[in-house]
Structure 1
Amino acid sequence: MNKHRRFVWTMSSPAMLVLILLTIFPIIFTIYCSFTDYYFLNKTQSNFIGLKNFIDLFKDRYFIQASLNTLKFVLLAVFCELILGIFIAVFVDSLKHIGKVMRVIILFPALVPPVTVALIWQMMMSNNNGILNRILNTLGFNGINWLLSPEYAFRSILLIDIWQYTPVVFLIIFAALQAIPDSQFEAAKIDGVNTWQKFIYITLPNIKEALYLAVIMRMVDTFRLFDKVNILTKGGPAGTTSTMTQYIYQHGVNGLNLGFSSAASIIMTLSVLIFITIYTLIIKSKNDGEKNYG
C-alpha cells in the first residue's frame, strides 16, 4: 500500500509534471506546426493549411532524393557495421595477451565527437594536400575528388560513419561474447566441432539479443545523420549526400519555414518507427518459429 501511495505521489509531483510537459509539449507543438504555414519571421498569426505541407513534401524531388539517400545510407551503414563489428569482436575475444590493448585502440573512433571526426577526414580527403590522395599518387594512381564528386561523395560519408561507429557495434557484441559459458565451447571441442560450426551453432544463438540491440541503436542513429554531411558536403554534390535531417535543417533553420520542416520531421520520425517495427516483428516471428520448431 505504501509503495502504491509513493508511486502515485511521484507521478503527481510537480517535477514529474514538468518532465512530462518537457517531453510531450515539443512533440505536440511540432505536430501542430506541421499543419500550418508557420514562418518564423512572419508577424501575423500562422494559418491552418491541413495536409498541404505533407503533399508539397512528396511533390518535392529534393525531399524524395534526401529520403532515398537516408534509406540507402541506413541499410548500408547498419549492415557493414554489424558484419565488421561481429568479426572484430570475435577476433579480439580470441586474443589472450593483447586483447585489452586492442579494445582501447578499436574503441577510439567512437570516443571522438562527430564534428571532430568530420574535420579530421576532411583534411585527409583534401584534393591537394590530403594524405589519401598522396598515398594514391605515390602508388601511381590519380587522386580522387572524395567529397566533391557525385560518384565518391556518398561513399566517403558512408566510409567515415562505418569507421566511427563500427566500434559501438563491436562493444555491444564483445560484451555479449563474454557472457557465453566456456563449457559450451569445451563440449563442442570434445565433439570435434570446427571453428565455423562453433560460430554458427554456439556464438550466434548466444548473441542474438545483442545483435538486435545493435541494429536498433544504429538504425535510429543513422537516420539522424547530419554532422558529417553538413560539414563535409552540405548535401551535395547535386544532392547525392543530402539526408532527411539535412533537408529539415535547410528549411527549418536556414529557411525559417517551421511549418514545412515540422512536416518533414514528422515523416522522418514515422519512417524510423516503421523500420523499427518491421524489424522487431521479423525478429519476433523468427524467434517464435524457432520456439515452435524446438
Structure 2
Amino acid sequence: MKKNQILKARTTESAARRFGLGMIGPTMLVLLIMTAYPLLFTLFYSFTDYNLLRNLQKPASFIALGNYTKLLNDAYFRQAILNTVKFTLLAVIFEMLIGFGIALLVNSLTRGQKTMRTLLLLPYLLPTVTVALSWRMMLSPNYGIVNQMMEALNLPVFNWFSDMRTAFGMLLLIDVWQSAPFVFLLLYAALQSVPQAQYEAARIDGAGAFKILFFVTIPNIKNSLALCALLRTIDSFRLFDKVNLLTGGGPANTTSTITQYLYSYGIKSLDFGFGSAGAIVMTILVLLLSSLYIKRAMG
C-alpha cells in the first residue's frame, strides 16, 4: 500500500513538474531569443572587422582580439571608462542619500503623504528627452533663466554645458534630480514594511532618532537598499540620452561615457565589429560593479 502511495505521489509530482515546464517554456524561449541570441551575436562580431557598408560586398574577417586591443589602446575610450565609473559612483551615492532622506521624511508625515508622493515622483515620470531639453533651455547662456537670475544677483555666469568646469557637474545634477525619486519610491515602500513594534520597543529602551535609524530602520531595509543601488548602478552606467543631447561627450571629452563613445565611433560609422567589442567590455564592467552589490546583499 505504501509503495503504491509513493508511486502515485511521484507520478503526481512528475506531472506537476512537466506542467510547470510547459507553462514557462514559451517565456523561456522568448527570453532566449531576445537576450541570448543578441549577446552571442555581439560576442561573435566583436572578434571580426564587421562594417555594414564594407561587408555588403565581402564577408567580415576574423581578427581575434584586434578590436579589443584597439579599444584599450585608445586614450578616448580609457577616458570614457573613467568618466562613466566616476559618474556612476557619484550618481548612485547622491541618489541613494537624497532618495533615502526623502523617503524617511515622507514616511514620518502624519498628513499629506499621498500628495507628497505624487509631486516627488513627477521628475522620474518625465521622459529623459523632455528633462534634458528643459534643463538645456533653463541653462542656456543666451536666454536661460538660471543665467538671468545670476546676472541679476551680479554673480558670474557660465556656458554650463560647454565649460569644462561645469559640464560634468550639470549632467550629474540633472541625473540625480530625475532619478532620486525612483530611489525614494522603492525605499518608501520598504519603510512601510518595517514592523512598528520594533520602533516602539526601541523608544521604550530610550533609543534616540539616530540609534533607531541605524539599528532598526536600516537593518530592516538593507536588501532594498542593495537592490536600489544595483538598479541605479546599471542604469547610470549606460547613461547616453542626456550626454548625447546636452554635451555630445564634450568639452574635451570630459563628459564622454562608454555608450556615447560607442555611438560616436561604432554605430555612426557602422563599424559594428568595433562597437560590439566595446559593448562586451561595458557588459563586463557592469557585471563587476553589480557583483559587489549582489555579494553584499547575499552576505
The AA in structure 1 aligned to 2:142 is N
Verify: 1:39 aligned to 2:57, yes or no: no
CA deviation map 1:23-57 (0-9, x unaligned)? 21111110011000001101211000000100010
Runs of 4+ in 1 over 3 A off after TM superposition: 7-13, 15-19
Say whether the 8 Å CA contact 2:222–2:297 is kept in structure 1.
no
The AA in structure 2 aligned to 1:2 is A
Residue of structure 1 aligned with 2:67, choices 40, 47, 53: 53
Residue of structure 2 aligned with 1:206, choices 214, 220, 239: 220
Task: Please identify the structure whose Cα radius of gyration is greater.
Answer: 2
Matches within 5 A, 1:156-195: 156-195=170-209
Partner of 1:136: 150
Partner of 1:4: 17
The verdict on how the C-alpha distance between 1:119 and 1:2 changes in structure 2, with shifts beyond 3 A counting, is: same
Gaps of 5+ in 1: 288-294
Q: Provide the rounded CA distance (Å) in 2 between the counterparts of 1:56 and 1:169.
A: 38
SS in structure 2 at match of 1:207: helix
Q: Percent identity?
A: 46
RMSD between superposed Cα atoms in Å: 1.5
CA deviation map 1:34-85 (0-9, x unaligned)? 0000011012110000001000101000100001000000000000000111
Q: Provide the rounded CA distance (Å) in 2 between the counterparts of 1:23 and 1:213.
A: 22
Q: Provide the rounded CA distance (Å) in 1 between the counterparts of 2:186 and 2:22.
A: 37
Matches within 5 A, 1:118-267: 118-267=132-281
Verify: 1:93 aligned to 2:110, yes or no: no
* TM-score normalised to structure 2 length: 0.91
Deviation at 1:120, TM superposition (A): 0.5
Partner of 1:20: 32
The AA in structure 2 aligned to 1:38 is Y
The verdict on how the C-alpha distance between 1:194 and 1:9 changes in structure 2, with shifts beyond 3 A counting, is: closer
* TM-score normalised to structure 1 length: 0.93
SS in structure 2 at match of 1:142: coil
Say whether the 8 Å CA contact 1:235–1:242 is kept in structure 2.
yes
The verdict on how the C-alpha distance between 1:91 and 1:16 changes in structure 2, with shifts beyond 3 A counting, is: closer
The 10-residue stretch of structure 1 (191-200 or 155-164) with the greater mean CA deviation from structure 2: 191-200
Say whether the 8 Å CA contact 2:240–2:260 is kept in structure 1.
yes
Say whether the 8 Å CA contact 1:10–1:16 is kept in structure 2.
no
The verdict on how the C-alpha distance between 1:32 and 1:69 changes in structure 2, with shifts beyond 3 A counting, is: same
SS in structure 1 at match of 2:163: coil
